[in-house]
Each structure stands twice: as C-alpha cells, then as structure tokens.
Amino acid sequence: MSGMDNISVKKNITAMRKGLGLTQQEMADRLGISRNAYRRIESGETALLNDYLLQIAAILDRTADELVLGYAPVEKDSRTLAELREKYLQDGIEQERKSQERISALEQTVLLQEKRIALLEDLVKTKEEIIVMLKKEIQK
C-alpha cells in the first residue's frame, strides 16, 4: 500500500470500526496512540496507517487484505486439476469396491434364501406324502 492515497482503505476501516460499535477513542486506546492521531489515520492526514494496519486489522478481527479490499478474499483451492481428477477417480474406485461388496453380500443372501426355500418345499412334500399315507390308513 503506498501511503495514504487509498481512500477506500480509510473508508473500510471506518465502516468496520463503526460496524463493531467502536469509537475512535477506543481504537486509539487499543493502538496506544491519542484519539487525534487515530482520527488523522482515518482522515488520511497522516501516513501512520501503514505502521498500524496490522494492529488495526487485529482489533477489528479482520485481515489486512480485508481492510485494503473491503471484503474477505476467497481462498483458491491449491490442488491442481490433476490432483482433483485423481481424487475423483479414487473416490469412484472406492465407491465401486463398496458397491461390489454389497452386491456380493446380497447375492450370498439370495443363495441362502433359495436353499431355505428348497428345504421348505421338501418339507411340504414330505408332509403331503405323510398325509396321503395317513388317509390311506384311515380308509382301510
């Protein structure tokens, strides 16, 4: 930042200070300077802003970038397209593996149920045969 030629920085600081409900005196006290010295920072009458920018940002719970820009810059994802593609592929492979495991478990369940059905069908046939034999016995 070059001196106090950036009017928007001063406006941003003033707006953020007021947004927090802080007075110029409270800011000055926190910076360890006089209210007059702080007033000159906000009005641009002094180049002290450069000396106090980081402290002012800390008091306002902002970054120096936010004071300069007037908003919080969006951080870019540092991963490259190749890294993102690899992560996407790995996620897909893992999802496919889990799906195959689930399919195998379900196939196993189906086989067990088919065996159970076959056993129950045999049991029903056996009971039917017993009923037929008992009916013949009764008719004798």
pLDDT at residue 2, as a whole number: 42
pLDDT 10s per residue in the chain (140 long)?
Answer: 444 446 778 888 898 899 999 999 999 999 899 999 888 888 877 766 677 888 888 888 888 878 777 777 666 666 777 787 888 889 889 999 999 999 999 999 999 999 999 999 999 999 999 999 999 999 97
Domain boundary among 69, 87, 107: 69
pLDDT at residue 111, as a whole number: 96
Same domain, 80 and 65: no
Domain boundary among 25, 52, 69: 69
The answer to whether residue 95 is domain-embedded is yes
Same domain, 56 and 108: no
Same domain, 17 and 55: yes
Task: Give the contacts of 112 (CB within 8 A, at least 6 positions apart).
Answer: none
Same domain, 46 and 65: yes
* Count: domains in the chain: 2
pTM for this structure? 0.45
Same domain, 44 and 83: no
pLDDT at residue 76, as a whole number: 61
The answer to whether residue 2 is domain-embedded is no
pLDDT at residue 74, as a whole number: 64
Same domain, 57 and 110: no
The answer to whether residue 51 is domain-embedded is yes
Give the domain extent around 15: 7-69
Measure the CA–CA gap between 118 and 8, rounded to whole angstroms: 83
pLDDT at residue 125, as a whole number: 96
Domain boundary among 54, 69, 84: 69
CATH number at residue 44: 1.10.260.40
Measure the CA–CA gap between 137 and 17, rounded to whole angstroms: 104
The answer to whether residue 99 is domain-embedded is yes
Same domain, 41 and 90: no
The answer to whether residue 1 is domain-embedded is no
Residue 15: half-sphere exposure toward Cβ, Cα within 13 Å: 12
